[in-house]
């Protein structure tokens, strides 16, 4: 073999070895006793009641009842430096998709695709926050939703409450509210959606309520779970 070629191959081998040694290691998943468990194999089954109005972007008339299961599959995805744990989502009405759980110290976030807005990243909770605390964030990677600037504000509404969901009383529950606003044609930000989330310590998300333009659009409630 050509001597120069051997030298090149040697340098390539060193380069690949260096990349492998320096590969990014994802953070450990949040534990089962957290507000947003990410442990491998954990799963949650929800009843998803979806309402609609004739003027909806995605027209739904009356009520559709879906069953949706979320399962932590152990894989991770890097979104611009934010390492998220992948979640297999199986919907009885809409088939399979992937959601993403992200916990950065005390900040708990959920990234998933929802009609009619597509992929959004919602900061559900800072689990050390006090009632009344608020913070503003960008719910999309580029700060744009449907070609308009977008922002969102989370508020801690209640803390350490009991919440009954499908006949089960969950203790140590945070209730948070997220207001989603867009600025269309430079006319200023106005509210288009409001989400209420209930997260229970050791159980995760137990209820989600979504209102679009002041009208209830979705209620998702926990049916059963298996936190590993």
Read off the pLDDT of residues 164-201 as tens digits, 9 standing for 90 and up: 999 999 999 999 999 999 999 999 999 999 999 999 99
At residue 61, the pLDDT reads 58
Q: pLDDT-based confidence at 14, cuts 50/70/90? A: very low
Per domain, the residue ranges of the chain are 27-226
Give the pLDDT confidence of 89-137 residue by residue, as tens digits: 999 998 999 999 999 999 999 999 876 677 899 999 999 999 999 999 9
pLDDT for 8 beyond 50? no
Average pLDDT over residues 38-66: 79
Higher-pLDDT residue of 121 and 141 is 121
- CATH code for residues 27-226: 2.40.360
Higher-pLDDT residue of 156 and 26 is 156
Encoded tokens for 177: 């509210």
Q: pLDDT-based confidence at 25, cuts 50/70/90? A: confident
Question: pTM of the predicted model, to two decimals?
Answer: 0.85
What would you report as the CA-atom Rg of the chain, rounded to the nearest whole angstrom? 21
Tell me the C-alpha distance between 78 and 24, whole Å: 10
At residue 31, the pLDDT reads 97
Q: pLDDT-based confidence at 212, cuts 50/70/90? A: confident
Count of CA atoms in the C-beta half-sphere (13 A) of 128: 5
Q: Find out whether 197 and 208 touch, Cβ atoms under 8 Å.
A: yes
Q: What beta strand segments (E) does the chain contain?
A: 43-50, 64-79, 82-91, 95-104, 107-114, 118-126, 134-137, 144-145, 148-165, 168-183, 189-200, 204-212, 215-226
Q: Find out whether 133 and 153 touch, Cβ atoms under 8 Å.
A: no
Encoded tokens for 206: 């137990």
Give the pLDDT confidence of 129-140 residue by residue, as tens digits: 999 999 999 999
pLDDT for 53 beyond 60? no
Which residue is associated with the tokens 């050791």?
Answer: 202
At residue 213, the pLDDT reads 83
Sequence-distant (6+) residues with CB within 8 A of 6 are none
As a residue count, the chain comes to 228
Q: Find out whether 49 and 65 touch, Cβ atoms under 8 Å.
A: yes
């Amino acid at each position: 073999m050509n001597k120069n070629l051997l030298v090149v191959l040697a340098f390539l081998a060193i380069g690949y070895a260096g990349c492998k040694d320096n590969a990014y290691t994802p953070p450990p998943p949040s534990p089962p006793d957290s507000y947003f468990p990410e442990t491998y194999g954990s799963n949650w089954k929800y009843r998803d009641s979806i309402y609609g109005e004739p003027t909806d972007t995605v027209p739904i008339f009356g009520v559709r009842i879906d069953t949706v299961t979320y399962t932590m599959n152990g894989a991770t995805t890097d979104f611009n430096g934010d390492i998220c744990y992948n979640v297999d989502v199986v919907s009885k009405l809409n088939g399979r998709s992937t959601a993403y759980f992200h916990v950065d110290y005390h900040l708990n976030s959920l990234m998933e695709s929802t009609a009619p807005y597509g992929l959004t990243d919602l900061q559900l909770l800072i689990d050390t926050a006090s009632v009344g605390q608020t913070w503003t964030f960008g719910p999309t990677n580029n700060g744009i939703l449907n070609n308009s600037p977008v922002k969102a504000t989370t508020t801690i509404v209640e803390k350490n409450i009991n919440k009954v969901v499908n006949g089960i009383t969950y203790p140590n529950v945070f209730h948070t509210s997220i207001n989603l606003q867009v600025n269309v044609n430079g006319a200023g930000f106005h509210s288009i959606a409001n989400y209420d989330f209930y997260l229970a310590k050791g159980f995760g998300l137990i209820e989600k309520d979504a209102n679009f333009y002041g009208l209830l659009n979705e209620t998702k409630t926990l049916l059963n779970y298996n936190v590993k």
